[in-house]
């Protein structure tokens, strides 16, 4: 088994493949970068060197990268410690490539597949034992150079030393924040993040009907809860309604049948209409917001008012003191009701998904901080609110107490973390040492 990774084959030189290849080359790994044609591989190298931002900081490290094609050069993977597949998100394409590469790689090399949501068990179904023991999912986030999160997902036959070696390399050498996830739909970050966004659209629609503005919705879903200033609508504009629609459809098929997320896999009617007319977000020139260039060269931000169905000037919102902290979601006005349903709902969702998607609360908190730039992960937020107060509100509203909150309640403890975060509460109701970040 490879003990130290020094050479990497990246198969597929698109957005993710070129990002991974650039990062590895920057850290002095020998990289074999293959794509469907030499032209595609050369274009990828151009992006690696002069993209925005370039994947390589030091141009001379370009010499660490050797280009080739998947048809002529796949046998060269025999010289590589890690074979990282990053071709299109298509099960059959990934399976075909796995079948071709397996006889060509040497014993002890590690294989990974980059997928946003295809289960590893589907990719490896019926494949040789040697491959099933040596393979994991590596879920990097885009842009690879910038985003800290890397989710590593083993299959049921993956050998522990494969996970350890790859996690050590990606953490220590590539500078990633490694989170250990399970082979479940959307892994950790996207499972919780997409629930928050898709359910948020539905709750926000009701909040707008009750009189909140879209800008207030975004203000409530940013600073008070420790999320980036894009809030809810702003983040969906950045991602694009087309991607969110794709995610929703995938969740609809793959979520477990009793998962509460099943209620939120389709858009509310107004967002569905936006999708149909191509009002997708920033990449389409506007979604919920747009920036207009005026004749004098200045810029004006506008909001697509969901109530009037028309563009208007964006409001500048200053939340009052009582809505500026995370505690506001325990209140009972319109702002609190929206925040309780959206953020409180996502916290309950996360608390119900341990141990289903992660063995512990730590990996979930890190995934949300490193992949979605949340200031605090869900359990860190619950600790800030006070889990007992949160549970009391659930009970007052005749709502069930989500799994990890119930573990905490039964343990008689008051928080998910203690001793400045160096210990966390496990599913057994006892504290365990938190591994350093
Ligand atoms: N882009 C993201 O934000 C993101 C984030 C996380 C994970 N992912 C996953 O990473 C993988 C790669 O995504 P991407 O965004 O880099 O895609 P991409 O479309 O940018 O690149 C895919 C590459 O696959 C190659 N390809 C196309 N058809 C092929 C075939 N039949 N056989 C072999 N190669 C083929 C293309 O030439 C291209 O270079 C996907 O599984 C995707 O879901 C993407």
All domains in the chain, ordered by first residue: 7-180 (3.40.50.720), 189-322 (1.10.1040.10), 330-433 (1.10.1040)
Assess whether the C-beta atom of 88 lies below 6 angstroms from ligand 1. Answer: yes
Residues 334-380 have pLDDT tens digits of 999 999 999 999 999 999 999 999 999 999 999 999 999 999 999 99
Whether the per-residue pLDDT at 390 is higher than 80: the answer is yes
Whether the per-residue pLDDT at 284 is higher than 90: the answer is yes
Assess whether the C-beta atom of 371 lies below 6 angstroms from ligand 1. Answer: no
Residues 120-144 have pLDDT tens digits of 999 999 999 999 999 999 999 999 9
Q: Indicate the top mutation candidate among 10, 38, 45, 86 to test ligand 1's pocket, ranked by most ligand atoms within 8 A of CB.
A: 86
Residues 404-434 have pLDDT tens digits of 999 999 999 999 999 999 999 999 999 999 9
Q: What percent of the chain has pLDDT above 70?
A: 100
Q: Please tell me the predicted confidence (pLDDT) of residue 358.
A: 97
Q: Please tell me the predicted confidence (pLDDT) of residue 116.
A: 87
Report CA(87)–ligand 1 centroid distance (Å): 4
Residue 400 pLDDT class (50, 70, 90 cuts): very high
Assess whether the C-beta atom of 199 lies below 6 angstroms from ligand 1. Answer: no
Q: Please tell me the predicted confidence (pLDDT) of residue 1.
A: 73
Structure tokens at 367: 């995934």
């Amino acid at each position: 088994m490879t003990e130290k990774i020094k050479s990497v084959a990246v198969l597929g030189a698109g957005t993710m493949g070129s990002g991974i290849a650039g990062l590895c080359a920057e850290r002095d790994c020998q990289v074999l970068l293959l794509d469907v044609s030499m032209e595609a591989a050369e274009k990828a190298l151009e992006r690696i060197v002069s993209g925005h931002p370039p994947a390589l900081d030091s141009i001379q490290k370009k010499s660490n990268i050797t280009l080739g094609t998947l048809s002529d050069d796949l046998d060269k993977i025999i010289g590589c410690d890690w074979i990282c597949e990053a071709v299109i998100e298509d099960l059959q394409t990934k399976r075909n490539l796995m079948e071709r590469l397996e006889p060509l790689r040497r014993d002890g090399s590690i294989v990974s597949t980059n997928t946003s949501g295809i289960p590893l068990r589907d990719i490896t179904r019926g494949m040789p034992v040697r491959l099933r023991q040596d393979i994991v999912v590596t879920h990097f986030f885009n842009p690879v150079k910038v985003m800290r999160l890397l989710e590593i997902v083993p299959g049921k036959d993956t050998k522990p030393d494969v996970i350890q070696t790859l996690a050590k390399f990606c953490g220590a050498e590539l500078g990633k924040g490694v989170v250990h996830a399970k082979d479940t739909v959307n892994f950790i970050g996207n499972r919780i993040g997409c629930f928050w966004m898709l359910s948020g659209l539905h709750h926000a629609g009701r909040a707008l009907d009750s009189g909140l503005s879209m800008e207030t919705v975004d203000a409530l879903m940013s600073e008070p809860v420790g999320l980036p200033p894009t809030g809810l609508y702003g983040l969906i504009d950045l991602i694009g309604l087309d991607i969110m629609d794709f995610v929703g459809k995938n969740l609809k098929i793959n979520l477990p049948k009793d998962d509460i997320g099943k209620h939120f896999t389709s858009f509310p009617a107004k967002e569905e209409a936006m999708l149909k007319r191509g009002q997708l977000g920033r990449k389409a020139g506007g979604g919920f917001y747009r920036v207009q260039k005026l004749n004098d060269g200045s810029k004006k931000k506008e909001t697509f008012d969901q109530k009037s169905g028309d563009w208007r000037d964006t409001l500048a919102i200053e939340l009052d003191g009582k809505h500026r902290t995370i505690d506001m979601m325990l209140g009972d006005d319109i702002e609190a009701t929206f925040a309780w349903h959206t953020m409180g709902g996502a916290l309950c969702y996360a608390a119900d998904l341990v141990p289903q998607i992660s063995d512990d609360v730590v990996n979930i908190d890190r995934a949300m901080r490193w992949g979605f730039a949340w200031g605090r992960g869900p359990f860190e937020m619950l600790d800030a609110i006070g889990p007992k107060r949160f549970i009391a509100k659930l009970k007052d509203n005749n709502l069930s107490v989500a799994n990890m909150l119930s573990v905490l309640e039964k343990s008689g403890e008051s928080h998910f973390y203690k001793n400045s975060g160096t210990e966390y509460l496990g599913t057994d109701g006892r504290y365990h040492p938190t591994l350093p970040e």
